[in-house]
Amino acid sequence: MTQEETDKKYMRRCIQLAGNGRQSAKPNPMVGAVLVAGGRIIGEGYHVRCGEGHAEVNCFASVSTEDEVLLSRSTLYVSLEPCSHFGRTPPCADLIIRKGVPRVVVGCVDPFAKVQGRGIRKLQEAGAEVVVGVLEDECRELNRRFITFNTALRPYILLKWAQTADGFLDDHFRPMQISTAFTRMLTHKLRAENDAILVGRVTAERDRPRLDVREWSGRDPRRLVLSSATSIDKILDECYQEGLQSLIVEGGGKTLESFMERDLWDEIRVETGTIAAGAGTRAPRLPGNLRVVRVENYDGNEIITYERKS
Ligand SMILES: [Zn+2]
């Protein structure tokens, strides 16, 4: 195995570990770290919970006493650039230097203004070899919400709707069940993974959706209603000020379109059912600048996930 292949292998493990923090690391990013010496993993860790140890801290803490001597010959793999500032915990870059790790492989740079390359520079100045950008896309993908929030200064926006086989949101303007028991559960899982959920005023008053996660475990997202008094700008600003990193927009059609018209979206998920309605509210038209990232089929229903064309 070449060095590059080896680096990818251990970075893949970092990403896997990082994902364990999906529900609890927020508002911090998900991060995984692995220590390798002599072709063997001697330590692993991930960021479990905001306010507690970072991935690197947990990784070092997992190294056994007899393996401590190997640190001076080890490589530390970490999916996100180590921090360099004093937050609720001391900087991880300092810890890595103190532990004498000579080589550090970083998945992607931290876009957070207080870090942004400083952690990497600190390590290099201390004499460590630093490799940046191994499985960079995957590492960025992992923290899309965190990265969008910290670079676009607004929540990550996910537009989502279900439509009939012939492209209507309802049946002759009357609500109809398009999702299946299974896809409904997926919707609740998605809600648990995001910070806020928004519907338009008409949908809120007519359908009285509960917008909670009763068919999955986790926190209910903050419920927001869009009206003329709470414009999109106000809502996004409120989310940013309150640290809500992601927003699901679940309808209705006009609300979804108003986000697309202003090009305010990062991901779109469309579920298409098996039954045709014949007439009703037309499903929103997809914008032109997108690409399909995933197609899933459950009980005949198809869920297509789109992202922005880069
Ligand atoms: Zn840190």
Average pLDDT, the chain: 94
Span from the CA of 195 to the centroid of ligand 1 (angstroms): 23
Instruction: Give the mean pLDDT of 241-250.
Output: 96
pLDDT (0 to 100) of residue 182: 95
For residue 135, the CA-to-ligand 1 centroid distance in Å is 20
Q: How confident is the model at residue 14 (pLDDT cuts 50, 70, 90)?
A: very high
DSSP the chain: --HHHHHHHHHHHHHHHHGGGTTTSTTSPP-EEEEEETTEEEEEEE--STTS--HHHHHHHTS-GGGGGGGGG-EEEEEE----S-SSS--HHHHHHHTT--EEEEEE---STTTTTHHHHHHHHTT-EEEE-TTHHHHHHHTHHHHHHHHHSS-EEEEEEEE-TTSBSSBTTB----S-HHHHHHHHHHHHTSSEEEEEHHHHHHH----S-TTSSSPPPEEEEE-SSS-HHHHHHHHHHTT--EEEE---HHHHHHHHHTT--SEEEEEE-S---SSSSBPPPPPSSEEEEEEEEETTEEEEEEEE--
Active-site residues: which are they? 56
pLDDT for 183 beyond 70: yes
The per-residue pLDDT for 121 is: 95
Of the chain, the percentage scoring pLDDT greater than 70 comes to: 99
Instruction: Give per-residue pLDDT as tens, 29-78.
Output: 999 999 999 999 999 999 999 889 999 999 999 999 999 999 999 999 99
CA–centroid distance, 33 to ligand 1, in Å, is: 11
Ligand 1 centroid, distance to 223 Cα (angstroms): 32
Q: pLDDT tier at 207 (50, 70, 90 boundaries)?
A: confident
Between 210 and 283, the more confident residue is 283
pLDDT of amino acid 230: 85
pLDDT of residue 27: 87
Residues by chain with Cβ below 5 Å of ion ligand 1: 54, 83, 92
pTM, to two decimals:
0.84
The rounded Å distance from CA 91 to ligand 1 centre is 5
Is 41 in contact with 17 (CB distance < 8 Å)? no
pLDDT of residue 113: 66
Mean pLDDT of 74-103: 93
CA of 242 to the centre of ligand 1 (A): 23
pLDDT of residue 293 exceeding 90, the answer is: yes
